[in-house]
A and B are shown apart, each in its own frame.
Chain A
Amino acid sequence: MIAFVAFSLRRAWLGFWRNAVMSIAATATMVLMLLLLAGFWIVQAGLLAGLEFVEQKVEIVADLHDDARQEDVDDLVVRVRAMPEVDRVTFVSREEALERFRAAREAQGQEDLTRYLETNPLHASIEVGLVDTRDFGLVSERLRGEAAVERVKNIKDLVDRVLTVTDFLRTSGTVVLLVIGFIVLFIIVNTIRLAVVARADEIEVMRLVGASDAFIRWPFVFEGAFMGLLGAVLALAVLGVAADPLNRFMFDFFRVLPIDVAPLARDLVLLVGGAGLGLGVLGSWISVRTYLIR
């Protein structure tokens, strides 16, 4: 068994270098395809984070009765916070509402008209962030039933439209990624097939002298795995070199979006490494199979 593995590995290594042109062409294709896959995957990750960010901006704002008692309001906040659909609850008092209004006016460079007011015209409110924006209607309805709530701003149409757009983008991102994945799969499998077909004579001789299927298959599978890993390492090296300028270029993007770079990089290494190895093995397995089954 050990002899067999050693034999297969040695043959795979020799096979790779004896057909250097084909092997290098296949590896280069592998690198390009993996970069393509990684690129789209990064874009997809950014897209998802962006959509998440947009959806998180959707909040339910419930204005409270001005005469609501503080205990009732506190009680309301506690109960709303306990709802499983709810991510966060912020209480905004009338004074805070006025502060915010003033700050907004000032930011826009407009005159603060509120100082001509004798009383504060704004209501206290609670702002409810949701775990899943799709629960907007449900939670709004519940809040409307609360005694302390005067009214809930109805932005359901807007929320629905936002959701339609984000759902569409999310789905199309996934579809594009899948299509890219299939394209990469077919191109890699076909490239490896070319490399195997170039050695049809060798396989023919092996069959004729009575080599078992395992002895014919495994060297090619190891060779495919080797090509895949080499391709993955090279692709990751390219990504590593490109990471710094890319980061600088996308700095603003990352500053806005709460993307955690470390797990993203880890996933990327797993994706590229796994795809390289898997496609290399799969490609050679399929390609050699044609010669084994008669």
Chain B
Amino acid sequence: MTLVAPESPPRPSRPSPRRWFGRRRTIQVPDDALVVLRDVTKRYPNGKLALVDVDLVVPEGDFVFLVGPSGAGKSTIMRLLIRDELATRGQVIVDGRDVARLSRRQIPKVRRTIGIVFQDFKLLPSKTVYENVAFALEVTGTPRKRIRPTVDRVLALVGLTGVVDQYPRQLSGGEQQRTAIARALVHEPKLIIADEPTGNLDPLISWEIIQLLLRINELGVTVLMATHDADVVTSLRRRVVALEEGRIIRDEAGGTYHRED
């Protein structure tokens, strides 16, 4: 079924004068869309306009590259998805829920359906690989007897079985990023958000990480990856969403990093 979404009525909490004269927009929202950004504008408190009228639909199981220069709005999109920030205008829907309408109690639960991977890994230096991954389960109240099998499984999936008792500083960059990916996977998320996951890695290791993300995608996890890595994007021919100054300037399946004229 294809659903034509009507323009959502202005929310009373944030009246937007523009809406009264606004263009009527219709987006094709497939039933299996995991992420929907509808006419999203984000202005930070310091006045910086990070996103302007962004429409983006990501169906479940998709693999999307977000490309564009620094400051184009890639990270802002990711922050909106995990509801670290709220859109100034427009709607952000993740897994069928409008994130702006989530109660404080629901936010953590929705975040568990999203795994996040960063350029700087964000591992805790005082914990081993195993503990870093297990930490994500401990702090969400997972019963202890379920933690070990889950952690062992994801560590095997990312190929880190041999280094579980090492600390992050003892690992190579690629291994650290695998640990972070393992941590992102422990809640069996529907969506993996990777913010320049290969930014700190050399090309060979970058490829290993990309291969890993592709394999995870094949298991049915939707992947949204922001990157500057033109070679990777161009050679994989996946969907490419290009941002510039907060606007989507290109959205094509099987795209390349640079525009093909």
A contact set with B: CB distance below 8 Å: 3-4, 7, 18, 201-202, 204-213, 215-216, 294
Partner of B82, one of A7, A205, A208: A208
Task: Write out the residue numbers on chain A whose beta carbons fall within 8 Å of the beta carbon of B183.
Answer: 209
Partner of A211, one of B85, B105, B116, B140: B140
Whether A208 lies near B116 (C-beta < 8 A) is yes
Q: Give the nearest-CB partner of A202 in chain B.
A: B124
Q: How many residues of chain B get a CB closer than 8 Å to chain A's CBs?
A: 25
- Closest-CB distance, B9 to chain A (whole angstroms): 26
Partner of A212, one of B85, B116, B140: B140
- Closest-CB distance, A23 to chain B (whole angstroms): 14
Task: Write out the residue numbers on chain A whose beta carbons fall within 8 Å of the beta carbon of B124.
Answer: 201-202, 205
Whether A209 lies near B104 (C-beta < 8 A) is no
- Closest-CB distance, B80 to chain A (whole angstroms): 12
Whether A209 lies near B111 (C-beta < 8 A) is yes
**A26–B186 alpha-carbon span in the complex (Å):** 35
Q: Give the nearest-CB partner of B114 in chain A.
A: A210
- Interface mask (B109-137 → A, CB under 8 Å = 1, otherwise 0): 11110101000001010100000000110
Interchain residue pairs with CB less than 8 A apart (11): A201-B122, A205-B135, A209-B111, A209-B112, A209-B140, A210-B110, A210-B114, A210-B136, A211-B108, A211-B139, A294-B85
Whether A212 lies near B108 (C-beta < 8 A) is yes
- Interface mask (B182-193 → A, CB under 8 Å = 1, otherwise 0): 010011000000
**A201–B126 alpha-carbon span in the complex (Å):** 11
Q: Give the nearest-CB partner of B115 in chain A.
A: A209
- Say whether, besides A3-B141, A201-B124, A205-B124, A213 and B104 are in contact (CB < 8 Å): yes
Q: Which 5 A-B pairs have the closest CB atoms?
A: A210-B112, A210-B111, A211-B139, A209-B136, A212-B108
Task: Write out the residue numbers on chain A whose beta carbons fall within 8 Å of the beta carbon of B85.
Answer: 294
Partner of A7, one of B104, B126, B136, B138: B138
Whether A205 lies near B122 (C-beta < 8 A) is yes
Task: Write out the residue numbers on chain B whose beta carbons fall within 8 Å of the beta carbon of A202.
Answer: 124
**A209–B114 alpha-carbon span in the complex (Å):** 8
- Closest-CB distance, A216 to chain B (whole angstroms): 7
Task: Write out the residue numbers on chain B whose beta carbons fall within 8 Å of the beta carbon of A4.
Answer: 141
Whether A215 lies near B143 (C-beta < 8 A) is no
**A207–B79 alpha-carbon span in the complex (Å):** 12
Whether A210 lies near B84 (C-beta < 8 A) is no
**A204–B124 alpha-carbon span in the complex (Å):** 10
- Closest-CB distance, A217 to chain B (whole angstroms): 11
Task: Write out the residue numbers on chain B whose beta carbons fall within 8 Å of the beta carbon of A18.
Answer: 126
